[in-house]
Each structure stands twice: as C-alpha cells, then as structure tokens.
Structure 1
C-alpha cells in the first residue's frame, strides 16, 4: 500500500534576500562597509585624535603665555593690551560651555568636542573655555572665548579656531567609502549576472526535461563549478534519453513478438473451427485477441507518445471538429462550442490521440452530456471535454494521470491498462501545456487540456540515441 506523500516542511522565514544576486551584493557591500568603518575608526583614533591633542597643547601653551604676559605687565598697560584684544568682562550670551552635536556634521562636531576637552585638560582651572558660533548657517565660522587675567582682573578674550580643529580628510574618507560600496555593489551585480546566465539556461533546460522535452546540450566552457553542473546535467539527459530509447525499443519488440503468435493463433482458430460450428466460442476468442491487441497498442502509444513527430502549423478547431464528426458517425453526439484560435505549431497525430482518448473516456464513463469547447487564454490554446458521468470525481482523475492507475469505475471495462490519461498528460506536457480535471457544475467532469501557442524551441527535437 502506497504511503501518502508528506507535505514539505516550511523553513522559518529568513531575513536574507531570496535571490543569490541580492545576497552576494549585500555581502560585498557589508564587507566594504565593515572595512571602511574599521579604517575610519583607526583614522580617527590613531591619527586624527593625536593630531587634535597636539594642537590643543600648542594652543594652551599660547594662551598660558599670553596670560602670563598680561599678568607681568603693569596694570594700566595690561588693561590697554587686553582692550586691543577686544577683551570683555563677561563672555557673550551666545557662547556656550558644551556646544550641541549636529548629526549632519557629526565628524566636525566630534573633532570640536575632542579639541575642547583636551584644551580644558591642559589649561588651568581658573581659565574656562566657551564656544561661540559666529554664523548659525556656517558652523566653520566659530571662535573660542577664554578667560585670562589683565590688570589683576579676569577678562574674556576671543580667539579664532585653528585649522587643526576643523575636518581634515574625514569627509573625503566618507565619500570614498560610499563610492567603494557602490563599486562593490556594481561589481557584485556584474559577477552574479555572469554566473546567473548558465544557471538560467540550466533551469530552462530542467523545466524542458520535466515537460518531456529533450534540450540541446548545455555549454561547459564557463566557470569550473558551473561547467561541472552542466556536464552532470548533460550526462543525466543522455541517460534519460538512453533509457527512453531502450524502453521504446523493448516495448516495440515485445509488441512485435506477441503480435506474431496472435496472428498465428487467429489463423489456427479459423482453421480449427470452421464458420458455423461454434460461433459463440469463435466470437469470444476473437474478442479476447482484440483486447490483447488493444493493450499492446496502448503500450506502444505510451512508449512513443509522438516525440519523433515533427510539429506542424495547423488549426486546432478543425482537428477537434473532425473528431466530433467522427464520433457522431459512431452514434456519440458531442456539442461543439468553439472560439477562434490562432494557427500554431503542434503534433497533429499526437494531439489527435490526446483528444480521442479524452473523448473515448467521456463516451465510456460519462455516457451523457457530452460536449467539447475551445478557447484561448494566457498564451495557451485550451480544449475542454465534458460529460455528465457520476462514477468518479476530478481529484481521483488527477491521481489517474500516473501510468497503470485505474479508477474504481473501470473494473467493469476490459481492454484497459491505465495508460490513457498518462498518454494524454504526457502529450500535453510535450506541447508546453498541462492536463487538469474539474468537477462540472451540475454533475460530471471537465477535462481541460492546455497547449502552448509558443512552444519551446527544442520541444520538437527527437530523443538522442
């Protein structure tokens, strides 16, 4: 007893991008960003900070020397010298002890704060420092207010900021980092596009094999890893073609070897039982022989299924109309509802076998409400064979597409092998389409066949020997 197929387990949703292209680009950008952050941190910690610290020492020595000169001078001369430096008794209200950080100018304000911290560390406690921005629109126009001693009284003097406290190379480094990240993303995209091309060809060829087609050999002159995958796929395709050819040859041989004794058996029966001696026995025997012959023909149909037939441009509506007329001549009326279809390439004998199998199933198992309709949808020519049978549902018919599967309502019908729907499904897939079953409104089943209006370029290629 076959076990039911287990549903595939869903993996937890990943935060990573789904495509390999996106993942590689994200990885390259992340690596470049990490290296640039490390480089920038090293630049700030080991180069820029010591440079600012040295500048603060020089600046503090200059301020202390100026304060010492003012203290050493006579009081009157000291106040006169301080006046020439625009000294004030109080610092302006616009000056602050701790200036605010400006996120858009993070590195500029970082260097300013480092400089102020170092300067306060090197100046005496009675010489506080305050910061004033001259123009709110331009933070680079700023000055320091430092309290010194002139004529025995504390006064505030303004000193311009020196160049060492301004941004030096940091902005350039940031721009360079962003540029390198963009270059890394572009490089990753180019590399992945180069890798994706053979992978896309492999995926296309694999879909062709699953549809019963025989793709051309994949090129093996790319990167080593991709070439190895392509060689393995070519070997697999060759093995499948060999197995397919061996199976067809075996079935053809079995059919030929069995039909020869069947013919002799018919002749022996005809000679051993002359007409009129035992007609019921002769009729039953010939019926059994016809059943065996039909089974052999179904095996041959499944083995071939039209792979070697060359596609031809034709009118599908005309083919369906011909079959509807043929079945009507046998006493089975099908309502035919057709919609205009474009002329496209298909294998006429294989498609006729497909339609005959579906219509024969509708006659045998459906019996009433027989109809056929055609239409075009989404690049496919669609044919629907309908009946009002009540013996089997659509979901069970989907299972019967597997070879040698027969439904419960087929037990009373002899001469079947369970290959009819498998042949139909195989021919549909060879034409880039599909076979599906739907429960018909009001009872019955609808068998819907889709045939691609733009078949794969290698779908008509015969199997390789």
Structure 2
C-alpha cells in the first residue's frame, strides 16, 4: 500500500486523528467522572441508615418483618432498587435481578463460600444482614434506569462530548480548507472582472500544501499579467507622444509654407485632413487607455434622459449632413450615478457610428426605459448591419466589419471605448441585427436608487 504524499491530505488526516484522540480521551474522562459520581452515591446509600434500618427490622421481626418493610417503607429513594438476597442469590420477595447484574451478584456479592479457604473471606460489595436464626442476607442497592451502556446521564454525557468534539474539529477543518479556497475564489473573480491588482493574501500563499502552491502560482500569474498590461499601456503612451511631436512640427511647417504660397490648396487640405485624422486616432488611443479599471472616474447623480436628448440635439446637424434624422423616445426621470463626460462619450460614439451607416431618408432611433434595477438604452439604425458571426467581435479594438465599405472612416476604437465606458459603470453593451435591416446597440446600466 502506497501512502498519499499530499500535504493537504496529511493535514486533514492529522486533524481527524487528533479529533478521534481527543474524543476518546474526553469520553473516557467523562465516563470515569460520571461513573465515579454515580458509584459514590450508591455506596453512600448502601452505607446509610437504610442498611442499618433493615438490620434492625430483621433482628426484631425476622424475615417476615423484613419482607414487609421492603414492600411498604416510604423512605426508600425512588431512584434505586433494594434487593435482599439469600445465600442462593435469590431475592426474598421473589423478584428477578436484571440480567446485566446476575453474574456480578453471583461473583462479587454472594460468592461461593465452599470455594474459599477457612481463614479467608472475599470482599463483598453489599452489606451482610444476620437474622435471629443466624441466616445471612445481602443488602443490595442497584440504580434504576441502568442499561448495558450505563446510566442515561453517562450516555448523555458521552453523546454531548462527542458532538462537541466533532463540531469543533469540523469547524477547524472547514476553516482551514474553506477560508483559503474562498480567498482564492475572490481573487480569481476580481481578476476576471479586470482588477489586475487582485492577489491572494501572502499568508495563504505561504502554506506548504496544494492550496498554498495554487495561491502562489495565481499570484505569479497575476503579477505577470499586470506587467504585460502595464507594458502595453506604456507603449501606447510612448507611441502617442512620439507621433504627436512630428505631427506638431508638420503642422507648423505647413502653416509656414502656406504663408509663402508654396503648396497647392488641394494638397494642403489633404495634408491637414490626414493630420487631423492622425490626431483623432491618437486621441482615441489615449482615451481607450485612460479607461483602465485602475483609473478613478468621477461619479455623480444625473438624468440620463436629459443627457440623451441633449446629445441628439448636438448631433442633429451631422445627421442631416448624412441625409438622416434622429428620433428620441426616452422615459422621464431616468437617474443614474456615473461620470457625465464618459457616458456622453460612450453614447456619442454609438450615435455617430449609427449616423455614419444610416441610409438617406432614414432615422436613427434612440429609446431609453427602466427595466427593474437597470436602465436599458437602444440606438438603432437602418444601415447594412454586420454579419451575424461578427456581432460578438465588433466591440474589439480595431475590428472592422466586412462590407462596411468607404463609410468605415472611424479610428477602429470607437466601439471598444463604448464597451469600456459602460463596463466602468457596472453595465454591459451588446449588439443585435435589427429586423428589417440595420443594427441595434443595447446598453444596460444600473439605475440610481432614489429615496
């Protein structure tokens, strides 16, 4: 047989072994204590005035008087039974002894005198009464309610001790195993939610069993992941800085050249357009990076229906330039707690994306309503939509749906920013194809609790 080498297995085996040892020791101590208490009471009863009273009755009236006393005396305690036995271990009232005491009475109370030497008498565990006719009787006191397992008090004591020990050890085992698992589960959930600083406490990672190894490996993985994310963000910041510096110089050069009439106006416009586009891309990259979960956002109570209505008014000019219009249908008093500028940016990106793909003469529809503890906002267009297999990917950075054609002039980060904005507000964003053609972007964010 090969013994398991698992430290966790050995730890639990030691706990269980210690529990059994403690139970045996405590049970034995409890049994000895209770038994000693009971035995002391019985011995005191045998040595009390009851035995002397029985001897007096026997001396005065013989066996008939003793039998009458045994049946009628009201001073005999209710928790004991008194037997008066003859030399044949028979009760003088003809009562049968409890089975568990028959051998005890035969060997330790009455005994076999013919087996003893003439000058030796064994210790008897019951007083001996001598009648007027010199016949001997044994005054035996037995406790009532005794079974082969002992008295009810003894049994109750053992059960109570067992339950206390088992409950204590079960609590220790559950705490020793459950607490590390709970901490590990919490850290995994935090990491899955985007909190890359989540770690398992060092006290658990230092354990010398499987849970400790797992916790240490998790912390190492989280450290590496945190480092990779930090490196990526640092790269984006550095890249943005390196791009903006030459762009600034290029803008200056173009401005000077324009003053000297050295550039064709069309070329100058083209250069300006590309510079603006590069600046827009860089700005979106910085905004996307700034939405990391470790960056604190400013939260306050605001009316979402007012924000959407104001946004629609601002974007109406752009919509008319694309030959479409914006329709808003929002319930009143839709309150949320969040960062006004971030929420405006998120909805603006969705709305501009819808306007960009909306066909001439169509409308972009904005609806907002409260469903339970969430506010649901939907922005829909009648554009070409996307392939169904691409729906779950349109919120990824730089993902461009097939078939969007020349209208896809964005930076590739607009919907990725949308996803991060609403995730930072404990919400979610999804896309679905609209019946009759087009795309619907749905946003769900928690409603504010107004008192």
What is the TM-score normalised by the length of structure 1? 0.55
2:345 to 340, 353, 356: 353
Distance 1:43 1:117, change over 3 A: farther
Distance 1:304 1:36, change over 3 A: closer
Aligned-residue CA RMSD (Å)? 5.3
1:328 maps to: 316
1:254 maps to: 242
CA distance in 2, matches of 1:338, 1:27: 63
The structure showing larger relative contact order (alpha-carbon pairs under 8 Å, at least 6 residues apart) is 1
Distance 1:249 1:197, change over 3 A: same
1:405 to 375, 382, 399: 399
Instruction: Give the count of matched residue pairs.
Output: 339
The structural deviation recorded for 1:231 is 8.3
2:44 maps to: none
1:78 maps to: none
| Contact 1:33-1:177 at 8 Å conserved across structures | no
Distance 1:221 1:305, change over 3 A: closer
The structural deviation recorded for 1:337 is 1.1
Distance 1:162 1:197, change over 3 A: closer
Distance 1:246 1:427, change over 3 A: same
The structural deviation recorded for 1:35 is 5.0
Distance 1:203 1:117, change over 3 A: farther
2:304 maps to: 316
2:117 maps to: none
Aligned pairs for 1:252-401 (under 5 A) are 252-264=240-252, 266-267=254-255, 270=258, 271-275=261-265, 279=266, 284=270, 286-305=272-291, 307=295, 310-330=298-318, 331=320, 332-367=324-359, 368-393=362-387, 396-401=390-395
Distance 1:387 1:417, change over 3 A: same
Matched position secondary structure for 2:331: coil
Matched position secondary structure for 2:397: coil
Matched position secondary structure for 2:325: coil
| Contact 2:366-2:380 at 8 Å conserved across structures | yes
Aligned pairs for 1:114-133 (under 5 A) are 115=100
1:68-92 CA-partner distances (Å, limit 9, x unpaired): 9x9xxxxxxxxxxx9xx3559xx9x
Unaligned runs of 5+ in 2: 1-11, 35-82, 108-139
CA distance in 2, matches of 1:41, 1:405: 71
Distance 1:346 1:248, change over 3 A: farther
CA distance in 2, matches of 1:391, 1:412: 14
Distance 1:117 1:207, change over 3 A: farther
The structural deviation recorded for 1:39 is 6.2
CA distance in 1, matches of 2:334, 2:200: 35
1:178 to 157, 160, 163: 163
1:131 maps to: none
1:241-298 CA-partner distances (Å, limit 9, x unpaired): 84465245314303412422441564477433345xxx5x565555444443433333
Unaligned runs of 5+ in 1: 1-25, 49-61, 71-81, 96-111, 123-158, 456-465
The structural deviation recorded for 1:425 is 0.7
Matched position secondary structure for 1:374: strand
1:147-203 CA-partner distances (Å, limit 9, x unpaired): xxxxxxxxxxxx996778643733311121113334445666777898799668756
2:441 maps to: 447
CA distance in 1, matches of 2:284, 2:354: 18
Moved more, 195-204 or 246-255: 195-204
CA distance in 2, matches of 1:189, 1:415: 59
